[in-house]
Chain A
Amino acid sequence: MNRNVRAHDDGADSVQVAEVAVTESLDTLFRANYSRLVRALAVVAGNQESAADAVQEAFVKAHLHWWRVKSLEDPVGWIRRVAINRLRDEHRRFGRKQAAIARLDGLRREHNVQSAGETDTTALLAALPRQQRLAMALFYVDDLSLDEVAATLGISAGAVKFHLHQGRERLRGLHEASGGSL
């Protein structure tokens, strides 16, 4: 932050001033939303590294196209959607890679998150369909409203309610089956 302010003081040209403005706007946006976005998407991805990578990449894109993103009604919503799409792409790539490895090895592998031996909750979440996980993560962790979740996922509010209901019931059932309570 200080570095940017110094750049503003030293450089008199307009390009540098514009650059500082972009950096400061994104800096504010980043600090206000990064942690929440990463934790919400970590629920979907099954690990925080992938989620952090996706969110960072979304902010990089926002930085590169800031002149367009800043004029949007909800820049954070745009960043969230970009991060979700990236996570989706990565998940598909990973799935294809795992399938190829399984074919080569002649082995039937368990779901990647379960085989990774991660926490119980993560393993239980991994058993949920992706759309249910996304809806729950955005609603319960990212604190979005039903309408905001619907807009982010491009589905109706009714569909979001369905996914939340189904997800909650299924997670409760899985949790109880594993010996816990919810």
Chain B
Amino acid sequence: MNEFDDPELASLLRRAGGTHPDVNVAYQRVLNRVHHARRRRLVVLGTAASGLLLATGALALNRIAATPGGPGDRPTFDASLPIETSAAPIAVTSSLPGEDPPTSDDPPTGGTAATIGTGHSSTTVSDTEHDDENGGDTSTPPPSSATEVFEGTGGSVTVRLHDGEFSLVSYVARAGYEATVNHSGGDRVEVRFNSPGHRTNIRVDLEDDGMEPSVEEDDT
């Protein structure tokens, strides 16, 4: 017999606890809840597994692309980007006589490489040509680094664009010309080649994170 045994109080509290609940109904509810909890757990696990799979796939693709000799090194991949070699894009197009410009909207005379490379009249590299260098796809994001050579009658200029800033890599004056560097970096590179009878001004501006070249030829 316990000092706290109190049948009257126990009876009162049991009455306060209510009637006996329906065990069968309650058990069915428990089973339903278990079922729902398991489904929720499966959904969460499935979502996590899918995310992991996607992340692994993306990582594997990146590794393949970065492997030397992998898809990232294919020439077709480079073709969509501005040419980063010492050969100027202008010179490449001029070496293929009769080749049509990539876009039919290009004017027949504007911005051809042959004119720039050999002509003595004032010539400006057009926007369309610049677009052609990027494969004509304006939606392609500009590369973080690119080096291009721009030629004129008086000489050539090699410009590098890196992280949105220009730097003048080199310039070569032809025989009889004297070079003057007006701007050598930042958002503009400008080099002037002067001879007694002719002047070539090569200027490259930074526009929309890309190169906007301008080659002017003037007879003096």
Contact = CB atoms under 8 A, between A and B. Distances in A.
B17 A30 contact: no
Interface residues of B, number: 26
A30 B30 contact: yes
B10 A140 contact: yes
Contacts of B26: 30, 34, 38, 52, 56
Interface stretch (A57-65, A84-92, A103-111): A57-65
A140 B9 contact: yes
Of all A-B residue pairs in the complex, the 7 with the closest CB atoms, nearest first, are A39-B17, A140-B10, A48-B18, A121-B16, A60-B33, A42-B17, A140-B13
Contacts of B8: 182
Contacts of B139: none
Given A31-B27, A34-B27, A42 B9 contact: no
Interface string B1-23: 01010101110111111111101
Interface string A37-69: 011101100001000100011011001100000
Contacts of A43: 13, 16-17
Contact of A140 (B14, B18, B29, B30): B14
A161 interface: yes
Contacts of A127: none
How would you classify the secondary structure of chain B's contact residues: helix, strand, loop or mixed? helix
Interface of A: 23, 27, 30-31, 34-35, 38-40, 42-43, 48, 52, 56-57, 59-60, 63-64, 119, 121-122, 125, 136-137, 139-141, 146, 161, 164-165, 168, 171, 182
Nearest to A123: B16
A141 B30 contact: no
B172 interface: no
B37 interface: yes
A122 B9 contact: no
B58 interface: no
Contact of B17 (A27, A40, A146, A182): A40
A60 B30 contact: yes
Contacts of A165: 4
A43 B4 CA distance: 18
B61 interface: no
